[in-house]
Chain A
Amino acid sequence: MSLTVDDTRWVAHLARLQLADAELATMTRQLGAILDYVTQLQQARTDNVEPLAHPLPIHNVFRDDSPAPSLSVDAALANAPQRRDNFFAVPAVLD
Chain B
Amino acid sequence: MADLPYRIVIGLEVHVQLLTQTKLFCGCSTRFGQPPNSATCPVCLGLPGALPVMNRRAFDLAVKAALALNCRIASFTKWDRKNYYYPDLPKNYQISQYDLPFSSDGHLDIQTPEGTKRIGIIRAHLEEDAGKLLHEEGGSGKDSLVDLNRTGTPLLEIVSQPELSAPEEAKAYLEELRLLLKALEISDCEMQEGSLRCDANVNIHVPHADGVAATPIVEVKNLNSFRAVERAIKFEANRQYGQFQSDGKKLGDRGVSKATAGWDDVRGVTVVQRRKEEASDYRYFPDPDLVPIEVDSAWIAEVRALLGELPAAQRTRLQSQYALSAYDTEVITRQGRPFVAYFEELARGCGDAAEAKNWLTNEILQTLNDRKSDVRAFPQPADAIAELIREAKATGLNKQRARDVYAHMVSEGGTAKEVIKKLGFTPVTDEGQLRDIVRRAMAANAKAVTDFKNGKVKAADAIKGAVMRETKGMARTEMVQQILLEELQRA
Mark A residues whose CB is within 8 Å of B. 14-16, 53-56, 58-73, 76-77, 79, 82, 84-95
Contact = CB atoms under 8 A, between A and B. Distances in A.
Given A62-B53, A67-B21, A70-B40, A93 B291 contact: no
Contacts, number: 135
B40 A76 contact: yes
A70 B38 contact: yes
Contacts of B42: 71
Interface of B is mostly: loop
24 contacts: A14-B281, A53-B78, A53-B100, A58-B291, A60-B293, A61-B53, A61-B291, A62-B55, A62-B56, A62-B59, A63-B53, A63-B54, A67-B29, A68-B26, A70-B28, A70-B41, A73-B37, A76-B40, A76-B45, A86-B36, A89-B144, A90-B145, A92-B144, A94-B135
Given A53-B76, A65-B22, 9 more contacts: A14-B85, A65-B20, A86-B38, A88-B87, A90-B145, A91-B143, A91-B144, A92-B144, A95-B273
Nearest to B77: A53
Nearest to B132: A87
Given A66-B27, A71-B41, A86-B36, A92 B286 contact: no
A76 B38 CA distance: 8
Nearest to B35: A86
Top 8 nearest A-B pairs (CB, nearest first) are A68-B27, A65-B57, A62-B56, A87-B145, A88-B146, A89-B143, A53-B78, A90-B87
B141 to A, nearest CB: 7
Contacts of B85: 14-16
B56 A59 contact: no
A59 B292 contact: yes
Interface in B94-145: 100, 133-136, 140-145
Nearest to A88: B146
Contacts of B86: 93
A84 B291 contact: no
B419 interface: no
B78 A68 contact: no
A93 B87 CA distance: 8
Contact of A73 (B36, B135, B273, B291): B36
A59 B22 CA distance: 21
Of listed A16, A59, A94, residue having the most chain B CB within 10 A? A59
Contacts of B144: 89-93
A53 B135 CA distance: 39
Contacts of B37: 73, 76-77, 86-88
A65 B31 CA distance: 13
Given A59-B293, A66-B21, A73-B38, A93 B135 contact: yes
A64 B58 CA distance: 10
B41 A65 contact: no
A3 to B, nearest CB: 14
B455 interface: no
A74 to B, nearest CB: 9
A82 B142 CA distance: 13
B53 A70 contact: no
A71 B140 contact: no
Interface string B48-84: 0000011111110000000000000000101000011
B418 interface: no
B237 interface: no
A22 B337 CA distance: 66
Contacts of B141: 92
Contacts of A84: 143, 145
A53 B22 contact: no
Contacts of A62: 53-56, 59
A93 B133 contact: yes
Contacts of A15: 85
Contacts of B45: 71, 76
A44 to B, nearest CB: 18
Contacts of A88: 37, 87, 145-146, 148
Contacts of A76: 37-38, 40, 45, 148
A82 B292 contact: no
